[in-house]
Structure 1
Amino acid sequence: MRRPLAVLVTLPLVLAACSAGEAAGDAAAASSAASSSDCPAPPAADPTTPDGWLGWLAEHRDDVAVVVRSGDRAVVEHRAGEPQPVASALKVVHLAAWATAVQEGRPALDERVRVGDWERWYLPGTDGGAHVAALDRLGVAHDGVRALDPGAEVALSDVVSAMVRESDNAAPDLLRDLLGEEALAAAAAGAGLDGAPPTFLGTFLRLVEPSGAGARAGADADADADAAARRYADDPAEAARVQALLLPGPDAQVTWAETTPAVPAAGLADLHLALADGDPPAARAQLEWQPPPEGLAGLGFKGGSLPGVLAEAITVRDEDGTTSVGVLLVRGMAAEDWVATLSAGLPHQQLLVGALTDEATAGRLACALA
């Protein structure tokens, strides 16, 4: 039986009613004080609470990248230009590519695709149940792993929603197949990346069978892995062979996670700000699928997790037109800390939300990273 890989499925956010513009503006003054000697000692490190996360960040500054920004004004920045693994937060690139294609009339919002074509890129046991959860939400009957009827059709926009909401891993690779690498590369440039990111399936195949996918180094590894992903998608016998393989243990998973696609926090923030501002417009509707709390015009987010890796990107739009963004990237977490965070209801996410909407929290975050 395949050993499951723990990954983070996107969860709803809870925001207190707050003016994002006012909070970000006040936080700018608070964060500037972090360079002085006025910062108090950080709390004790505890990955199970938002307050304890301040202490955890203070002890792991070299493994963390943070951006909190209001428009073009930096509120908190730490290692903002250093690329770090982003797990499923990378899917915002695929979202931007799809939304651009929609804006250009290719493909239409109501285009439909076969579920079987979507599932060609699906590797069971590597998504934390995201694909099955997406099928449930879309009303597609399944056997607990795949759709019962691969000929059933869904709107392509619903596949995109599965990529954003449940964090389905097959969806971005279907989009890559439909839109082409050039479209992905153009979208990736908005996050400061050079070229299209590798396939999600290929990235996971490097974990499942490293000698067969990505055995070489660097860009060659991505090319090998993408070729392996194409063989998996095109050959049912090859897919069955791969699905029978066991995933390696936790230590190997952590080592592999460090080699997955990396993005600078500043680049991720730039792309999310553009999408939150409606460029292109279809992306914002997908990211802001959850109704905003009172006092905000919009709330968008996309996060992700791999063993030892956490990533969050959140935007809030104030009713006066101010847009703020927060990005938190963490790598190299000890297994016990990583599991504790996921089991405790994502307190790192709560901390980032607090920094976006509360001046005192933003100031404390800046102090923890000073």
Structure 2
Amino acid sequence: MKRFVAPLAALLVLAGCAAAEDPPAAADPACESTPAVDLTQPEGWIGQIPAQSETTSLVIDDGKGTVVDHRPDAVQPLASAVKVVHLAAYAQAVAAGKLDPNEQVPILDWERWHASGVDGGAHPQALTRLGIPNNGVFPDDLSGTVKLDDMVSAMIQESDNATADYLRYRLGDQALIDAAATGGWADFQVPTLVGSTLGAVDPEHPTGDLWPLAQRFAFDDAFRVAYSGTLVGTTPLSEQAEYLSQNGPMGTASELTSVYRSILSGTFGAATDTIRRQLEWRPAPDGFTAMGFKGGSVPGVLTQAFEFTLDDGSQATAVWLMSGMDESTFTSVLENFGNQQQLIIDAARDRATLDRIACVA
């Protein structure tokens, strides 16, 4: 489906129709041509949608009655975009008094979930931002503590996998399932970010339920050392991509959109402020009073999910999932995804841009 318009708008149009046969519709000038694929320019990302039609899903809702979508219910790899569910579960636990965001967590409890070398450097980047001395891989002092809310910020801002699995272990699977359900995502399959990334780079490629692997890695020191020794980075990206497309976090653009719209509508109740505070850590662009975001990437996969509050009070959401990219395309996508994000921002505040996307979706 290309585009939905709110029923009220449709009724207003129909009310003005004459009884006589309608004349042929004029061609939409916005759809006269499809932009060529050019990832170095925001508009060039519009051309990427039909170019990768069978492995792309998107839903863009401008909050004013128009929704543009493409394969919204196709199950796709989500990569770290799934962490919005972990954030929601955390926020619900805080709201219920089950977790204290100011709790000082032993750094060792965080580090045991850190699989170095398979997270794109997210964890040490988070350590540096939080002022925790480190050697570029691990903290210098494992006897220290870190504030729980800061750990969660690392999961969102740097996309730290260790925090996501720490929260799963601490809260339990049902808390994540319940958080997803609150956001309108039924039958949520709880992922392990650590387990799936370890499996992707393991020459033996374990499959099935990877949570036991992640827990053993976290709590069995000898196993962690031996297992890490096998992860020498020789697994081709194509194999990693194929593995993660079957064993990593999965979901649909519609399901992810439902969570983001639930955040904006206040469905999460007292947990909403915590969710939005963490998601909306970056300044809002011109035309918006707030913008929240969580995306992700793994070999062959790029995912983007946004929520916006515009200056006029309307609230927009955008989810764009891409997978199945070969190494060359994936490299180009990673180098230029800022242009994709700019296109998403433009579509949320500019109907003409949204209409251009609708032409190819």
Bigger shift: residues 334-343 or 124-133: 334-343
Q: Does 1:262 align with 2:255?
A: no
Counterpart position of 1:40 = 32
1:114 and 1:36 map into 2 onto residues whose CA distance is 65
Deviations 1:329-363 (A, max 9, x none): 01112221211121135322222122111111101
Aligned pairs for 1:71-150 within 5 A = 71=63, 73-150=65-142
**TM-score after normalising by structure 1:** 0.84
Q: Helix, strand or coil: the match of 2:100? A: coil
Structure 2: 5+ residue stretches without partners: 14-24
Q: CA contact under 8 A between 2:192 and 2:249: conserved in structure 1?
A: no
Q: Does 1:194 align with 2:194?
A: no
Q: Helix, strand or coil: the match of 1:107? A: coil
Alignment equivalent of 1:324, drawn from 316, 319, 322: 316
2:118 and 2:192 map into 1 onto residues whose CA distance is 14
Q: Helix, strand or coil: the match of 2:175? A: helix
- Of structures 1 and 2, the one scoring higher in RCO (CA 8 A, sep 6+) is 1
Deviations 1:47-103 (A, max 9, x none): 332222111212222211111114484421111111111111010010000001111
Alignment equivalent of 1:244, drawn from 221, 225, 229: 229
Q: Helix, strand or coil: the match of 1:186? A: helix
Counterpart position of 1:51 = 43
Deviations 1:3-55 (A, max 9, x none): xxxxxxxxxxxxxxxxxxxxx99xx99xx9xx985322201122332222111
**TM-score after normalising by structure 2:** 0.86
1:302 and 1:341 map into 2 onto residues whose CA distance is 17
Q: How many residues align?
A: 332
Counterpart position of 1:15 = none
Q: Percent identical across equivalent pairs?
A: 39
Q: CA contact under 8 A between 1:188 and 1:197: conserved in structure 2?
A: no
Q: CA contact under 8 A between 1:67 and 1:74: conserved in structure 2?
A: no
Counterpart position of 1:180 = 172
Q: CA contact under 8 A between 1:341 and 1:347: conserved in structure 2?
A: no
TM-aligned CA deviation for residue 256 of structure 1: 1.6
Q: Helix, strand or coil: the match of 2:341? A: helix
Q: Does 1:307 align with 2:315?
A: no
* One-letter code aligned to 2:244: A
* One-letter code aligned to 2:295: G
Counterpart position of 1:10 = none
Alignment equivalent of 1:228, drawn from 198, 203, 213: 213
Bigger shift: residues 357-366 or 254-263: 254-263
Say if 1:72 and 1:269 are closer, same or farther in 2 by CA, change over 3 A.
farther
Q: Does 1:276 align with 2:264?
A: yes
* One-letter code aligned to 2:264: A
Say if 1:111 and 1:178 are closer, same or farther in 2 by CA, change over 3 A.
same
Deviations 1:283-321 (A, max 9, x none): 110000112234422110001111111100011112443
Q: CA contact under 8 A between 2:58 and 2:253: conserved in structure 1?
A: yes
1:258 and 1:191 map into 2 onto residues whose CA distance is 23
Instruction: Compute the RMSD of aligned alpha carbons.
Output: 2.3
Deviations 1:202-232 (A, max 9, x none): 1122223364732xxxxxx0x2x11111111
Say if 1:251 and 1:196 are closer, same or farther in 2 by CA, change over 3 A.
closer
Alignment equivalent of 2:341, drawn from 339, 344, 349: 349
